[in-house]
Amino acid sequence: MDTHPTLLFGGPLPWVNHNDGSYECRNCGKKAVPLSFDTSEDLKAFQRSLTSNIRDESRIFYHIPILPVDTFTLFRLPVIDLPIRQIADVTGAEWRNGRIEPVGQKAKFNHYWRAVSSSRYSAREIALWDLSGIRDGHPNFEVLKKLVRSRYQVWLDLGMRSIQDVFDSFTMDVSRGLIGTLTAPGLELFEEAFELTENAVPIIYHDEKVLWPSRRSGSEKLETVVKELVDIGYEEIGVIDLPRLGKKSGPDNDMVARLERLDAKFILGGGITEADVDGLRSSGMRGVFLDPFTPIIDDLLEERESALSSESFTTFEKSVSNSRPAPVD
């Protein structure tokens, strides 16, 4: 019982992630990380994830739900005694007028996560998009820290524009940091990130061409950008087909055919639903980023809302008063 925080001398980033939250017993030398769970459902989701700790690398196929969060609305949040995941909204997202815009449906972050991590869905990772960071360069770090702390395997896109953003991302203990061509000033950022950590994933945002902040940032040809990223050393590369994002219309067959001809492991997003997973797995994709609010996720959210509604009602018998009315003067 003589336990003390473990002092580390290394991590995913040099001089940044030196504390992994573990404790060491000075009597026996064993180490452990204390865990706490809000609900038994969270505990069961964690227990299921343990069975996948040792996996055949060749058989890994990612199916990662995209959770766009418009953190701009939370910058001026008044002091409320509630966890931020009960306040933050997951929104729909589409590519409109050259921007990824929050559109359509909304659901509380904790409800959405519990839907996709339930036994019926069993997502082990989520792709958390800070729309304020991606669109405007203003990620809400206070909100992101609290969402990432929730023990999820988070792949975070906060709109990385500099190597400092890469540091900031991994200080929040994310599983993978997503660096997108939509915000990266050039290929140099991908090179610097690769030197720092093996947990960065490049994301190519595509709308008839590769999209960069400016024409001088990089090549607009998909095949050229893929080759440049592979030459840096990246093996897994994300591709978001922006015109299909949020439409739940399935992948573009021409895009899939182009990727099949290239020598890399791709995680494809944009219009993808659960119905497309088997076909994309067979085509050789490494994984998929699933659109927000797919039909199956909608069903799970409706089930959860129904359960919460039924739990919110209580019945009681009204006691009959035997008292007599007070006399009137």
Digit-coded pLDDT (tens) for 108-119? 998 998 899 888
Give pLDDT, residue 285.
97
Q: Which amino acid is at 166?
A: V
CA–CA gap between residue 292 and residue 100 (Å, rounded): 13
Compare 60 and 157 and report the one with higher pLDDT: 157
Q: What is the DSSP letter of 210?
A: B
Q: Which of 40-44, 51-55, 167-171 is modeled with the greatest confidence?
A: 167-171
Across the chain, mean pLDDT equals 84
Torsion of CA 12, 137, 191, 217, to 10 degrees: 170
Q: Give the contacts of 179 (CB within 8 A, at least 6 positions apart).
A: 160, 166, 189, 190, 193, 200, 201, 202, 203
Predicted confidence band of residue 209 (pLDDT cuts 50, 70, 90)? very high
Q: Give the contacts of 295 (CB within 8 A, at least 6 positions apart).
A: 248, 273, 274
Compare 129 and 47 and report the one with higher pLDDT: 129
Q: Which residues of 285-304 are buried (b: 16+ CB within 10 A; e: fewer)?
A: bbbbbbbbbbebbeebbeeb
Give pLDDT, residue 81.
54
Mean pLDDT over 177-194 rounds to 97
Q: How far apart are the first and last CA of the chain?
A: 74
Compare 196 and 34 and report the one with higher pLDDT: 196
CA–CA gap between residue 299 and residue 290 (Å, rounded): 15
